[in-house]
Amino acid sequence: MVGLMYRMDVVSSGKPMTVACDGRRSKAWGICARPKEQLGTDEDDIALLEDDELGDAPADPGEYEGGCAKPSGPHAMNKWCSRQCERSVKVARGEAITLPDFSKRLLNQPWKHQEEVR
């Protein structure tokens, strides 16, 4: 997705990092709570569903990180964003940022699926 990107500089494990996301909190479920489809017999062979397959995520998806819940403010970022949000990435400060693209399903083990899932 091309568009807005929110960033927050943090220190993670003693290293300067940048956390970035697309700011679409209404679509942020949390990495464990985002609806998915099982693709094979391996429990890790999953596809995270694309945004168009889902309604809005709950305001509180029930996942917390270091006492922080999914933020409700328009530009707020916290530990939940850094460690739980499936829409965010954490990179070394100054490194190029590529956000996940939820306009399509994201495969956890793409090498097992040469053709598009949908």
37-75 residue pLDDT tens: 999 899 999 999 999 999 999 999 998 998 999 998 767
User: Looking at per-residue confidence, does 50 or 76 come out higher?
Assistant: 50
Q: Phi/psi at 19 (nearest 5 deg)?
A: -105, 135
